[in-house]
Amino acid sequence: MRRYQEAKPPLDTSRFTARRIHFIAKKPKLTYPLPKMYPYLHIGRASDINDARDRKLYRFLEVMPGLIAWLTLILIVILSFLTPFFMALFIIAFDIYWLIKTIYLSFHLRAAYNKLKINSKVDWLERLNQLPELKSWQDIYHVVFLPLYKESYEIVSASLEGLLKTNYPKSKMAVVLCWEERGGDGTRQVVEAIERKYKNGFLKFISVMHPSDLRGEIPGKGSNTAYAAIRVKEGFVDRLNIPHDRIIVSNFDIDTIVYPEYFGILTYMFLTTLDQLKTSYQPIPLYVNNIWEAPSFARVVAFSATFWHTIKQERPDSATTFSSHSMPWQALEDVGFWQKNMVSEDSRIFWQCFLRYDGNYKVVSLYYPVSMDANVASRTLETFKNVYKQQRRWAYGVENVPYFLFGFIKNKFIPLRKKLYYGFIVAEGNHSWATNAVILFLLGWLPVAVGGPEFNRTVLSFNLPYLTRTIMTLAMFGLISSAMLSIILLPPRPPQLSRFKHFLMAIQWILFPITTILLGAIPALDAQTRLMFGKYMGFWVTPKNRKV
């Protein structure tokens, strides 16, 4: 396979020499002007709204997801006492629905994985060279943001080594290491060491310190990268006069390791997509960097997340961005960069663009992976706590429901069909996350347990456990496909581990019902309840623990 031979950088960057830590001595403007027609794009929570009527409306929308989830569970319990016959019918219908959905999602998982395999074998740089001259990739630049908090040198270095190993000219790539002042001296030392080693590996290597305790910010990935983006625009993009519509931004978690053809397929998709400047580009996150070190329950959660986002590649019409993803610089600037006053910046940036462009914004599936860390701590109990907190933070993406519903009310140009479609898909997804596992594995037996003597003498009461068990057993066969695929996606086994570990990787899926409740539904219900009562969450940074 032909590899690209590095060319001399086409831009004169001599006047923009490498900065060290003092590069960020001056504080840039903390806000960026938004179009007057879209004043609601940077609302983080109800208290950010000055108008009392709008504030009450937004607060009602914040209450709604948690309220509906709790009402669903409470009504199932109450109605199991009052009308056990009808609740038994509901449980059977719900189990059948879940079985059909499981089969449907299994087909999508297999189809998406097959496309991933095909794309992984393509020399995408060669494909780029075959494009017509009008779609030349030579003037496309990539800006990669890597937000750093307290991660180790080894974690950061592995991500940068992945960038260097890509089959793409580094003279077209600028890397922005945006690091938190609150990380302390340890973080500062990591940045200095990384800068010394990698500052000459790309068109430009920029380190940006995000000051602590800035007004109006929630410390986290969104506020960190937004601060860095404004500085990069003023000091690099505009300074070198790079056209904004020829820049693709990749906002990666610090543990993200890109596969060799990532920027090739990303650039190809960008150049061949209609409305390329109104599109985000989503890879598949594989949580396998340290998967061999993870305890069984953490592996199940990690692979479940991987499989879910693999399945979502098959439904780009309803997808939003998640975690590490890419998008045009022009779109990022049009919405005033990432929000600084909320938690789930990865999906929120999609909704910002969706509202800003009146519904004319979409996600393109890359069917190509990036690898990330599974949640692993030094002790099993600590790992369990960290997995719970990470799942709760992911589930706190429910804060986007009031955001886009409020935006739908304010924006009269988005077609009603799109409002109804996206509103239902996303709201239903959050509701299912918090309730489905509890209904399936805990409340499904309730009509028999509390239905009373009269109901327990009926044929339905006698057959309900058998029907439910049979349907659930059939649905569990979908786990066999998941177990097989999880083995295929494993990185090479470390030599110090025995082959018996492969067997454990397969049988770990018997934990799925437990992990789905304890590390799925409950943290989701926790997140929605916090939003419902106005106990807003901050950004919890997942600790990285990897043996490298």
pLDDT in tens, 231-258: 999 889 988 889 999 999 999 999 999 9
The token pair at 156 is: 């950061």
| Mean pLDDT (whole number) for 331-360 | 94
Pairing state of beta strands 173-180 and 204-210? parallel
Is pLDDT of 493 > 70?
A: yes
pLDDT attached to residue 30: 45
Q: How far apart are CA 370 and CA 259, in angstroms?
A: 6
pLDDT attached to residue 512: 87
pLDDT tens-digit profile of 20-74?
A: 333 443 444 445 556 667 888 999 999 999 999 999 999 999 999 999 999 999 9
pLDDT attached to residue 495: 80
Residue in 60, 29, 103 with CA at minimum distance from that of residue 481: 103
Q: Which range among 15-19, 271-275, 465-469 has the greatest average pLDDT?
A: 271-275
Q: How far is the first Cα of the chain from the last one, in angstroms, to the nearest whole number? A: 29
Q: How far apart are CA 448 and CA 450, in angstroms?
A: 6
| Mean pLDDT (whole number) for 280-295 | 94
Is pLDDT of 504 > 80?
A: no
pLDDT over 70, % of the chain? 93
105: pLDDT confidence band, cut at 50, 70 and 90?
Answer: confident
319: pLDDT confidence band, cut at 50, 70 and 90?
Answer: confident
Which has more confidence, 258 or 501? 258
pLDDT attached to residue 18: 40
Q: Residue 324 corresponds to which amino acid?
A: S
pLDDT tens-digit profile of 401-424?
A: 999 999 999 999 999 999 999 999
pLDDT attached to residue 246: 95
The average confidence (pLDDT) of the chain is 88
Q: Is residue 375 within 8 Å of residue 542, measured between CB atoms?
A: yes
pLDDT attached to residue 540: 86
Q: How far apart are CA 89 and CA 531, in angstroms?
A: 33
Residue in 268, 277, 466 with CA at minimum distance from that of residue 368: 268
Region of poorest pLDDT, from 174-178, 211-215, 387-391: 211-215
Max Cα separation, the chain? Answer: 86
3: pLDDT confidence band, cut at 50, 70 and 90?
Answer: very low
Q: How far apart are CA 274 and CA 445, in angstroms?
A: 50
Q: Would you tell me the crossing angle of helices 522-532 and 52-82 to the nearest 10 degrees?
A: 140
pLDDT attached to residue 34: 60
Q: Would you tell me the crossing angle of helices 400-410 and 345-356 to the nearest 10 degrees?
A: 10
Give the count of beta carbons closer than 10 Å to the beta carbon of residue 507.
10
Compute and round to an integer the Cα radius of gyration of the chain. Answer: 24
pLDDT tens-digit profile of 108-162?
A: 899 999 999 999 999 999 999 999 876 789 999 999 999 999 999 999 999 999 9
